[in-house]
Structure 1
Amino acid sequence: MKFNQFVIIGLGRFGSSIGRELIQLGYEVLGVDRDEEKVHEMSHVLTHTIIADATEEEVLRSVGARNFDCGVVAIGDDIQASILATILLKELGVKKVVAKAVSDLHGRVLQRIGVDRIIYPERDMGVRLAHQLVSPNLLDYIELSKQYTIAELQVPSCLEGKSLDDVNPRGRFGCSIVAINKPKGIIIAPVAKDVLTTNDVMVVIGTNDQIEQFQQSIGQ
């Protein structure tokens, strides 16, 4: 499903960041927050903004929340408000509801409510940073599930000038290089003859163990 209109509840750092990026990508965004200062700050950035309490059903009805393709509950400092706003969006029939969770308990409650996607910004960023700190070639790390991961790895000097056939990560470790980000552009689904240079970034997908073994092999 292609989303065109988003409503973001909570215009703190997390909600504002999402809103700015969605606008840059060409989508329409309504921002809702009780804080007048936050709303004013984003009023010239988002498509529409409103100072309101999103835990009140009539407020969400009046702004036409049910007509939005996706609702993002980005409230972080008030768990009760986060849960109430989420319930209302679900009851109003918003097609997809995404919510920020600040703890595992908060996340479990959101899951019970039926949230389509739960985001743990602080926890996820901590996990990604930890992996980056211990793996010098790792630029980014996204956990797809408890087993599978997508990782961005800087090509080390030991792989300079080598083709994917020479490196053979799938045959040796079971993981696959699904893209190579080169200075001149990205290669999607690279072939065996494509050559790596130290300016490249490899996008690798596989199990956590497979990628770890590959990282260790190129880090030596």
Structure 2
Amino acid sequence: MTSKTIGILGLGVFGSTIAKTLSKYDCDVIAIDKSEENVNRLESYITKGIVGDITDDELLTACGIGDCDVVIVASGSSLESSILAVMHCKNLGVPEIICKAKSRISTEILTQMGAHKVISPEKDTAIRVARNILHRRISDIIQLDNNISLIEFYPPKSWIGKSLQELDLRKKYDLNLIGYRNGPNEKLNIQFTADYRLKESELIVAITESDSFEKSDFFDDFAN
């Protein structure tokens, strides 16, 4: 697999976290930030770090942003800066532009300007926390689309010891099983057969329609 080149425009908490995470994988990271301190702090995590203005189209061109497979506009402090950065990336032909936003209006504007995906970290985190409070069995939730979510959860007691064939998760619960973990932070196991029997300490990872678990009694239904 050919390694990807990822551009990160803005190295605040959000951009820095992405850079550090990407450093664990086989990809090149080009990062730009107006703060020399921010760039220097991430020197060991990025392939190329540039101190400069992310709204400067000539700088973006010179730094190779146009050659990136994905560019993340991670500076959410100024909507104007984000808009200009998205416009320049679009003009440079970047195939995928991901942008951070702080409000619904900002999200709409950035989408209209050419961002392929706009995320609101604080809003997304708040939603996940609220859902975790309602659904104690759920360990994590990642919304993939408007109504499709990836969920990680502990199986109800009524499932323990039963085979996947017996449970028939897709038909009975609208759950498409991806795999399971032996515990938190353990490696995801995607090798399983229909006769595999669930254990109490395992975490199940599955895809489902978000509407299916919006009700607080979602997992109560499983136990019946």
Work out the CA distance in 2 between the residues paired with 1:28 and 1:125: 27
Work out the CA distance in 1 between the residues paired with 2:141 and 2:85: 31
2:220 to 194, 204, 216: 216
Work out the CA distance in 2 between the residues paired with 1:48 and 1:130: 38
2:198 to 196, 199, 205: 196
Work out the CA distance in 1 between the residues paired with 2:187 and 2:36: 43
Q: Say how many residue pairs are matched.
A: 220
1:207 to 206, 209, 212: 209
Answer yes or no: is the 8 Å Cα contact 1:177–1:190 preserved in 2: no
TM-score scaled by length of structure 1: 0.90
Q: Which residue identity is paired with 1:77?
A: S
Work out the CA distance in 1 between the residues paired with 2:170 and 2:61: 52
Percent of aligned pairs sharing the same letter: 28
For residues 75-154 of structure 1, what are the structure 2 equivalents within 5 Å? Answer: 75-154=75-154
Work out the CA distance in 2 between the residues paired with 1:198 and 1:25: 32
Q: Which residue identity is paired with 2:94?
A: V
Check if 1:32 corresponds to 2:32. yes
Q: Which residue of 1 aligns with 2:51?
A: 51
Work out the CA distance in 2 between the residues paired with 1:191 and 1:48: 45
Work out the CA distance in 1 between the residues paired with 2:68 and 2:29: 9
> What per-residue deviation string (whole Å, max 9, x for no partner) do you get for residues 41-62 of structure 1?
1122211111101111121122
Gap regions ≥5 residues in structure 1? none
Q: Secondary structure at the match of 1:66?
A: helix
Answer yes or no: is the 8 Å Cα contact 1:3–1:69 preserved in 2: no
CA gap of 1:19–1:159, structure 2 versus 1, over 3 A, is: same
Gap regions ≥5 residues in structure 2? none
> CA-atom RMSD, angstroms?
2.2
Give the stretch that moved more between structures: 144-153 or 204-213. Answer: 204-213
After the TM superposition, list the runs of 4 or more consecutive aligned residues in structure 1 that deviate by more than 3 angstroms. 183-187, 209-214
Q: Secondary structure at the match of 2:82?
A: helix
Return the offset for 1:90.
0.9
Q: Which residue identity is paired with 1:169?
A: L
Answer yes or no: is the 8 Å Cα contact 2:86–2:114 preserved in 1: no
Q: Which residue identity is paired with 1:107?
A: T
Q: Secondary structure at the match of 2:8?
A: strand
For residues 136-175 of structure 1, what are the structure 2 equivalents within 5 Å? Answer: 136-175=136-175
Q: Which residue identity is paired with 2:72?
A: V
Q: Which residue identity is paired with 2:209?
A: T
> What per-residue deviation string (whole Å, max 9, x for no partner) do you get for residues 108-138 of structure 1?
1111112111111111111111111111110
Give the stretch that moved more between structures: 141-150 or 20-29. Answer: 141-150
Work out the CA distance in 2 between the residues paired with 1:69 and 1:169: 37
Work out the CA distance in 2 between the residues paired with 1:59 and 1:9: 12
